[in-house]
A and B are shown apart, each in its own frame.
Chain A
Amino acid sequence: NAGVTQTPKFQVLKTGQSMTLQCAQDMNHNSMYWYRQDPGMGLRLIYYSASEGTTDKGEVPNGYNVSRLNKREFSLRLESAAPSQTSVYFCASSERVRGGVLYEQYFGPGTRLTVT
């Protein structure tokens, strides 16, 4: 089991360029998440997908779009990168929380993105 994989690991973009961050999980999880991590701040949720075919905005969705391609894959797209999007991006997956049952999240290794 590879768990949660992300590509690329590092990326440098110029302002206005676009790119897609890829994420895949092999644990058959229903829910997938994209977070960004900035110095001095906690992880913040950009978008999530509770199940295949659904996506919802998180705390900081502006400037991003997502696609839940299938149950395994959840991609994050920056259409026109801005310096404020310089961050470390983490993808995560979990089983869906339902009733009183609790499930942990599994994180990918992260993508360090710099926008100049």
Chain B
Amino acid sequence: KNEVEQSPQNLTAQEGEFITINCSYSVGISALHWLQQHPGGGIVSLFMLSSGKKKHGRLIATINIQEKHSSLHITASHPRDSAVYICAVRYFRGSQGNLIFGKGTKLSVKP
């Protein structure tokens, strides 16, 4: 079964720290998504990428296709970054091209 693994499951950081969340997957994909789920429950899409690197403000997402691995970095973390970060992939084959989601990484940034 195609799976998406995220690490760590939980992460606590001090304000200002550089944060890395990792995502690995098992077979070839056509796209990888990073999503943010706020404490209130709402889910927003942060990045969608198939190669290389994307940056938006203090957030950076990278993907290494050969190693089947992606990272989400947060620079100069802030308490408002506290949320669950979810990785999801769209596999080339199987799952009818729908997204397969990781279990999420719960980030807590302390002031």
Interface residues of A (CB under 8 A from B): 33, 40-45, 48, 56, 58-59, 88, 90, 97, 100, 102-107, 109-110, 112
Contacts and interface: CB of A to CB of B under 8 A. Distances in A.
Interface of chain A, main secondary structure: loop
Contacts, number: 55
B4 interface: yes
Interface of B: 4, 30-31, 33, 35, 41-45, 48, 50, 86, 88, 90, 95-104
A110 B50 contact: no
A105 B96 contact: no
Contacts of A41: 103
Given A42-B86, A102-B31, A102-B50, A107 B101 contact: no
B48 A104 contact: yes
B58 to A, nearest CB: 19
A104 B48 CA distance: 7
A99 to B, nearest CB: 10
Given A42-B4, A42-B104, A104-B48, A110 B41 contact: yes
B50 A33 contact: no
